[in-house]
């Protein structure tokens, strides 16, 4: 098996990075859930308490200043200062752990992908509304396996996400908001409306199972490609890991069940209409990942019970892998 377990030090840093990220993200979300700002303003000789609702300075009045509103204003200022301090300290710890992660040459996510995932997590879009489905997902699988998956390249110059929401909701953050918060230069490719590209030519491709197309509001963009094979990636138990990013930070990744991801890759490699240059990569990734699941991710069983859940289209690929699977230690 072409698999190398992480050292004890590498495994320890991975755990510490995840803990540091969770503390930082909790502080960031709490701060973001607070009013953008609050201020006291005099109008016609009388003081009013205002809530600033956005960075453009839009405000709404909370009424004339009285002892209760003054206490609310003071409490807001105190809590915000405490949260900012907590955020600063947690970010320092996170950067320290990310630096150790990088020094140990652990699998890393491209900078642009990390920016998107951090914003998606901050806005509670990741997991609830989207997951990573492209080659970058292999980074999360390596951490899940606690080792390097040698035959599975883990970095590309594009980023694939699948939408997973069941019902559209105008109150939820949109995909477009996530992308714009990550980088204001993202624009939709007019020739490929399922794709966005930023000023650095980094491409984000949006996919969806047909059953999840209705989870995106009509005004959102990019508009995903509905692909029947994406339905398979909704099955099983998703992976959820915090990984290092090349910008010296970290990001959370939510990815499909590795068994279903690997079998979908093998199915794609066998498609005659698949681009010839992509078929060997798909096959190599699928086999390497199934081998890693078999050898190092025993919490994802590859047994008869799992086989019986597979659609007919995937069973031959499982059978072929099983006939040639490596010895397990």
pTM for the predicted model, two decimal places:
0.91
Dihedral sign from CA coordinates of 292, 294, 297, 303:
positive
pLDDT tens for each residue of 99-148 = 999 999 999 999 999 999 999 999 999 998 999 998 999 999 999 999 99
155 pLDDT band, cuts 50/70/90, is low
pLDDT tens for each residue of 175-231 = 999 999 999 999 999 999 999 999 999 999 999 999 999 999 999 999 998 999 999
**Total count of residues recorded for the chain:** 329
CA dihedral of 306, 308, 313, 317, whole degrees rounded to 10 = 50
On the question of a cis peptide bond just before residue 222, with omega within 30 degrees of 0, the verdict is yes
pLDDT tens for each residue of 220-274 = 999 998 999 999 999 999 999 999 999 999 999 999 999 999 999 999 999 988 8
Q: At what angle do helices 315-323 and 258-269 cross, to 10 degrees?
A: 100
* Domains of the chain listed by start with CATH number: 27-101 (no CATH), 107-323 (3.30.460)
Angle at the Cα of 278 from the Cα atoms of 115 and 175, rounded to 5 degrees? 30
């Amino acid at each position: 098996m072409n698999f190398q377990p992480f050292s004890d030090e590498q495994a320890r840093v991975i755990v510490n990075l995840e803990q540091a990220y969770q503390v930082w993200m909790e502080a960031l979300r709490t701060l973001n859930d607070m009013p953008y700002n609050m201020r006291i303003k005099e109008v016609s000789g009388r003081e009013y308490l205002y809530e600033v609702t956005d960075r453009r300075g839009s405000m709404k009045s909370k009424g004339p200043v009285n002892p209760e509103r003054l206490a609310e204003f003071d409490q807001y200022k105190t809590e915000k200062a405490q949260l900012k301090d907590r955020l600063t300290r947690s970010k320092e710890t996170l950067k320290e752990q990310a630096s150790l992660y990088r020094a140990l040459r652990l699998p890393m996510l491209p900078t642009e992908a990390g920016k998107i995932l951090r914003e998606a997590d901050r806005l509670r879009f990741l997991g609830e509304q989207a997951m990573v489905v492209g080659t970058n997902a292999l980074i999360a699988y390596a951490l899940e396996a606690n080792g390097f998956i040698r035959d599975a390249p883990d970095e590309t110059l594009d980023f694939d996400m699948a939408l997973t929401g069941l019902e559209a909701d105008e109150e939820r953050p949109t995909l477009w908001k996530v992308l714009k918060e990550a980088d204001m230069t993202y624009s939709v490719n007019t020739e490929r409306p399922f794709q966005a590209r930023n000023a650095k030519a980094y491409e984000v491709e949006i996919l969806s199972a047909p059953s999840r197309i209705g989870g995106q509001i009509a005004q959102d963009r990019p508009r995903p490609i509905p692909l029947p094979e994406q339905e398979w990636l909704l099955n099983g138990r998703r992976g959820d890991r915090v990984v290092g990013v090349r910008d010296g930070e970290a990001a959370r990744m939510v990815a499909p069940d590795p068994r279903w991801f690997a079998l979908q890759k093998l199915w794609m490699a066998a498609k005659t209409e698949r681009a010839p240059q992509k078929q060997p990569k798909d096959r190599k990734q699928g086999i390497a990942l199934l081998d890693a699941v078999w050898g190092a991710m025993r919490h994802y069983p590859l047994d008869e019970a799992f086989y019986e859940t597979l659609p007919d289209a995937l069973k031959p690929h499982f059978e072929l892998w099983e006939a040639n699977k490596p010895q397990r230690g």
